[in-house]
Amino acid sequence: MKGVILISGSGSNLQSIIDNAEEIDLDIQAVISNKEEAYGLKRAQDANIPNHTLNHTQFSTREAFDQQLSQIIDQYNPGIIILAGFMRILTAEFTQKYLGKMLNIHPSLLPKFTGLNTHQRALDAGESEHGVSIHFVTDELDGGPIIAQSHVQVLKNDTAKSLSKRVLIEEHKLFPKVIHCFTQGRLSLKDNRAILDSQCL
Ligand code: GRF
């Protein structure tokens, strides 16, 4: 299945997807970053994947940015759009257009800790468990139907940094697996529910 991957930063999730692409039947057509300094762009170049930078600060409105983003995505006619550390809020128009085809990874056990600084917030809340969620993207920020989660124990001396490192290890394992379910046609979105092999998740 053809896929386009959106990033904003280091792209370690992108790397795990690149490394597993063949195994998970994903043909990565392009990587798009909203930040030109994103290290993930270098990872895309090293893997000979076409890559684009679309600097959101050069657009006067969110709508204008999303329209341009959509134009780039549509050139590749992807079956899946993967948000791998893409740190932009998307307009409802955009999320509706790609509803059921767009997945996001979020570093918390949703519905806990939507938004930013999830690791510190989990520590501040005294959570004993933290983790990662992958969900379909809807117009609700980090609020679309959850497909899969991995749990990580919070340790006594954890800092946001140490916790994020352990969560990231789980992210790198979980995302390719979920993408594979999608490329195999086993995973879909129906009536705002994630469905795997005809079972509601
Ligand atoms: C990951 O923790 C992801 O869940 C979050 O941002 C981080 C991106 O890391 N949305 P990377 O760019 O994949 O290394």
Going residue by residue through the chain, which has 201 residues, state the pLDDT in tens, using 9 for 90 and above. 999 999 999 999 999 999 999 999 999 999 999 999 999 999 999 999 999 999 999 999 999 999 999 999 999 999 999 999 999 999 999 999 999 999 999 999 999 999 999 999 999 999 999 999 999 999 999 999 999 999 999 999 999 999 999 999 999 999 999 999 999 999 999 999 999 999 999
- Nearest-CA residue for ligand 1 atom 5 is 85
Quick one: DSSP state of residue 24?
T
pLDDT of res. 16: 98
pLDDT at 41: 98
Pocket of ligand 1, candidates 15, 168, 175, 179: which has the most ligand atoms within 8 Å of its Cβ, to mutate? Answer: 168
Q: What is the atom index within ligand 1 of the atom nearest the CA of 10?
A: 12
Answer positive or negative: Cα dihedral of 162, 166, 140, 102: positive
DSSP for 30-63, written as a single string: EEEES-TT-HHHHHHHHTT--EEE--GGG-SSHH
* pLDDT, position 185: 98
How far is the C-alpha of 177 from the C-alpha of 81, rounded, in Å? 15
Q: Is 171 in the pocket of ligand 1 (CB under 6 A)?
A: yes
Decide: 133 in ligand 1 pocket, CB within 6 A. no
What is the whole-number distance in angstroms between the Cα of residue 195 and the centre of ligand 1? 25
Q: Residue 10, SS3?
A: coil
pLDDT value, residue 58:
96
10 lines ligand 1 (CB under 6 A): yes
pTM for the structure as a whole: 0.97
SS3 (DSSP) at 80: strand
Of the candidates 52, 106, 135, 172, the residue annotated as catalytic is: 106
- Whole-angstrom distance, CA of residue 52 vs CA of residue 36: 9
d(CA 189, CA 59) in angstroms, rounded, equals: 31
Whether 52 is catalytic is: no
Q: Left if phi > 0, otherwise alpha if psi is -120 to 50, otherwise beta: which for 85? A: left
